[in-house]
Amino acid sequence: MSTFPVRWPQLPKDGDWRKRFLLIWTGQQISLFGSSIAGFALVWWLTARTGSATVLAMGTLFTILPNVVLGPFAGALVDRWSRRRVMILADGLIALFSLWMAILYWRGAARVGHVYLIMLARAIGGCFHLPAAQASTALMVPEKHLPRISGLNQTVLGAVRIVSPPLGALLLTLLPMHGVMAIDVVTACVAIGPLLFTPIPEPQRRTAEGILPTSIWADIQEGFRYVWHWPGMNAVIILSMVISFFAYPAISLTPILVTKAFGGAAFHLGWLNSAWGVGIIAGGLILGTWGGFRRRSMTVIAGTIGLGVGILMVGAAPARGFALALAGMFLGAALYTMVTGAGIALLQKLVAPEMHGRVLTLVVSLTTGIAPISMAIAGPVADALGVRAWFIVGGVVTLALGIGALFTPSIRTLEDARAPAPLAEDVKLAQPGDGARP
């Protein structure tokens, strides 16, 4: 397959891009807090209403499936459509369903099936919103600042995970459920506002005769071919899948680790969760301030090695070594954040602008789709060999992969290689007048 150097739209001057980007970014982060609070409230309502683990598991399934099933289609559509409009429509969909749910709670007509439906709708909206937002960031932010923005995003995400559960619990004591859902509606509208009048650069695939018409299925196939013919990117995606394979069950097995390995109680579980949350914030702040190594692939590799060490520390901590497990949890979270943040920045830098949606959703689909498989394997392994075994094996495998990546030229020198060429190379910047209408 032929290759070409990625050509990017002409970005505005530094002060100009900061003002435009931060205006949109601030609205999106406010919406993220509102959505997280509403999500917590919905899960708690299911718990209080049914007390059923099966009901909660079904709710989790509705939040995961759209990314796995619709991810590739969403990515192809994001690459076809105006990404600004996709973000507006996704936020608007979530706001409408939250408003509908608020009305149901207000009328006392809310049922479990309604909650499943809004969870599904929110997940579908996120399936389109995330790649559109990340692809837009790559075209709004100068390349040298992408790792810092990615680190900032990870910091906010960590803060949301720490703050939204207790804040959601507090709001549930002060407000009825329809009041909590109304907060989600308001914060979604805050996110939509700046998008209505702020233009975002848009890539466009062209041929010599004009825009190339293809089917959605052809676009999806092109996305797979694009990644398949890029050995270094293949290896990075596989690395992400393996990390996710061990990370998803580790999170769910942590309560069992606390009780069986350390003889602890809810207090100890709270400390481990706090160590993870603080580690995420710390890692995001470090990446946001430092920006990582000059080669972003080296930041990913170093972070993977550190993540392996952290997981191994948690699994190898003796029964009286809970402090070692806390340190390992903090280290693992901080390095996991750096791996994720640097990895996103690497994709944003190297992937051709008109392929961002497809590649980003492909990565999300593969790393999310591995979760059911890993969960099905982790349970029996933990029952047969003890819960420590999962953490020890996960730590050793992650550490080995990081060291192996260090000696793999296609990963280590990923940024020196040319990306596979998509069907066309031309990219244009959205016209100034386009920002005034959705």
- Map tokens 């290759």 to a residue: 3
What value, to the nearest 5°, has the Cα angle with vertex 434 and ends 202 and 216?
Answer: 45
CA-to-CA distance for 34 and 12, rounded, in angstroms?
Answer: 31
pLDDT of residue 7: 41
Q: What stretches of 5-110 show up as alpha helix (H) in DSSP?
A: 14-50, 53-80, 83-107
pLDDT of residue 8: 41
pLDDT beyond 50 at 79: yes
- Map tokens 């990219």 to a residue: 427
Binned at pLDDT 50, 70 and 90, residue 308 comes out as very high
pLDDT of residue 209: 44
CA-to-CA distance for 388 and 253, rounded, in angstroms?
Answer: 10
pLDDT of residue 143: 83
pLDDT beyond 50 at 246: yes
CA nearest to 300, candidates 354, 351, 240, 250: 240
Other CB atoms closer than 10 Å to residue 19's CB: what's the count?
A: 11
Other CB atoms closer than 10 Å to residue 64's CB: what's the count?
A: 16
Q: Which CATH superfamily is domain 219-416 in?
A: MFS general substrate transporter like domains (1.20.1250.20)
Would you state the CATH architecture of domain 14-205? Answer: Up-down Bundle (1.20)
The top-scoring range by mean pLDDT among 77-81, 249-253, 313-317, 386-390 is 313-317
The percent of residues above 90 in pLDDT, for the chain, comes to 29
Other CB atoms closer than 10 Å to residue 26's CB: what's the count?
A: 13
pLDDT beyond 60 at 429: no
CA-to-CA distance for 353 and 99, rounded, in angstroms?
Answer: 35
> Pick the residue with more confidence: 131 or 204?
131
Q: Which two tokens stand for residue 41?
A: 């409230």
- When mean pLDDT is compared across 18-27, 97-106, 177-186, 262-271, the lowest value belongs to 262-271
Q: Which residues contact 192 (CB under 8 A, 6 or more apart)?
A: 27, 88, 91, 92, 95
pLDDT beyond 70 at 132: yes
pLDDT of residue 434: 40
CA-to-CA distance for 411 and 301, rounded, in angstroms?
Answer: 9
- Map tokens 């293949």 to a residue: 234
Measure CA of the first residue to CA of the last residue in the chain; give whole Å.
37
CA nearest to 143, candidates 321, 309, 351: 351
The CA-atom distances, in angstroms, between 270 and each of 165, 213, 258, 332 are 12, 53, 10, 17
Continuous segment of H or E residues that includes residue 82: none
Type of residue found at 311:
I
CA nearest to 365, candidates 206, 130, 187, 24: 130
pLDDT beyond 90 at 186: yes
CA-to-CA distance for 384 and 393, rounded, in angstroms?
Answer: 14
pLDDT beyond 70 at 324: yes
pLDDT of residue 180: 93
What value, to the nearest 5°, has the Cα angle with vertex 370 and ends 93 and 368?
Answer: 20
pLDDT of residue 210: 46
pLDDT of residue 367: 84
Report pLDDT digits (tens) over 13-51: 455 788 889 999 999 999 999 998 998 889 888 878 887
Query: Over the chain, what is the mean pLDDT?
Result: 82
CA-to-CA distance for 364 and 352, rounded, in angstroms?
Answer: 18
> Pick the residue with more confidence: 372 or 130?
130
pLDDT beyond 90 at 400: yes
Q: Which two tokens stand for residue 417?
A: 């290689």
pLDDT of residue 117: 94
Q: Which residue ranges does the chain devote to CATH 1.20.1250.20?
A: 14-205, 219-416
Report pLDDT digits (tens) over 217-236: 888 888 888 888 888 888 88
| Average pLDDT score over residue span 420-436 | 43
CA nearest to 329, candidates 253, 403, 381: 253
pLDDT of residue 103: 96
Q: Which two tokens stand for residue 254?
A: 């942590």
| Average pLDDT score over residue span 199-205 | 76
pLDDT beyond 90 at 363: no
Report pLDDT digits (tens) over 92-117: 999 999 999 999 999 999 999 999 99
Type of residue found at 165:
P
| Average pLDDT score over residue span 200-219 | 65
pLDDT beyond 90 at 86: yes
Q: What stretches of 317-416 show up as alpha helix (H) in DSSP?
A: 322-350, 356-385, 387-406, 409-412
> Pick the residue with more confidence: 265 or 295?
295
pLDDT of residue 344: 87
